[in-house]
Amino acid sequence: MATTIRNIVILTGAGISAESGIDTFRAGANGGPSLWEQHRVEDVATPEAFARDPDLVHRFYDMRRAAIQTKRPNPAHVALARLDAEWPGSLLIVTQNVDDLHERAGAPLGHNQRLLHMHGEHLKAWCTSCDIRSPWRSELSSRPPCPVCGARGLRPDVVWFGEMPYRMGDIYAALREADLFVSIGTSGAVYPAAGFVQNAVELGVHTLELNLEESQGSRMFHETRLGVASEVVPTWVDEILGRD
């Protein structure tokens, strides 16, 4: 472990929201892909699926956008919000999740500057006509007008497979400055997020994995702690804040 830890980058995945009741992507039998209306997520979360069958894709996202609004942050989200509020060094929480549970866990001032949704957000709609992203909590299946330009071409503001994740430059810049990279609740199955641990190791950054089970990247971490996020994350946050 680096003697002095100043700059931390944290990557979170679906596992941090599992105990809040949001299905992970590999919630299927023996870790297989979870299905929705007999579709694999990877087959619905693509621009091709949206072009081929927009009603199906809108239905998929309308259901999930509504579902997350009935869920609540769990102690793991709350612990990271506490870290955000109290950590004296720099901190970037990069989430692969498109739910808003990190935000709702307690948003100390400037929280949004330290939270980055690399795969977009359920609660935003992206207009394919004027390119503006608007906050959005209801459905898109009825093709509502864009709040800005009025066109009826809104899509979920979610990064689909084959699309470039958001703010990759900021993420790599933060990794270059980091003393510690922590991966929480991710299977390490989807790139480029799954490659961050490799980048960190090559940059000499200490790497820690907090996960329910071994992930595809576990062998690349200096340290792996297994357990449920609602327990292992608060314990780690107490430790790093010097409260253990």
**Residues of the shown chain interacting with ligand BV8 in the complex, contacts defined by CB under 6 A:** 13-15, 18-19, 24-26, 42, 45, 96, 98, 119, 158-165, 185-187, 189-191, 193, 211-213, 215, 228-229
- The beta-carbon contacts of 217-221 under 8 Å, at least 24 apart in sequence, are 217/183, 217/188, 218/188, 221/183, 221/197
Cβ proximity to ligand BV8, 67 vs 228, nearer residue: 228
Q: Is 119 a catalytic residue?
A: yes
**Shortest reach from residue 183's CB to ligand BV8, in Å:** 9
Specify the DSSP element, H or E, that contains 18.
helix 15-18
- In the three-class reduction of DSSP (H, G, I as helix; E, B as strand; rest coil), residue 159 is classed as coil
Cβ proximity to ligand BV8, 87 vs 236, nearer residue: 236
Q: Which residue is nearest to ligand BV8 (CB)?
A: 15
Residue 10: name the closest of 184, 127, 128, 138 by CA.
184
Residue 112: name the closest of 98, 121, 126, 102 by CA.
102
**Shortest reach from residue 81's CB to ligand BV8, in Å:** 17
**Shortest reach from residue 193's CB to ligand BV8, in Å:** 5
Cβ proximity to ligand BV8, 7 vs 224, nearer residue: 224
**Shortest reach from residue 74's CB to ligand BV8, in Å:** 8
Cα-to-chain-centroid distance, residue 200: 18
- In the three-class reduction of DSSP (H, G, I as helix; E, B as strand; rest coil), residue 212 is classed as coil
Cβ proximity to ligand BV8, 90 vs 230, nearer residue: 230
Q: Inter-axis angle of helices 75-86 and 229-240, to 10 degrees? A: 20
Q: Which of 58, 119, 122, 206 is catalytic?
A: 119
The set of catalytic residues is: 119
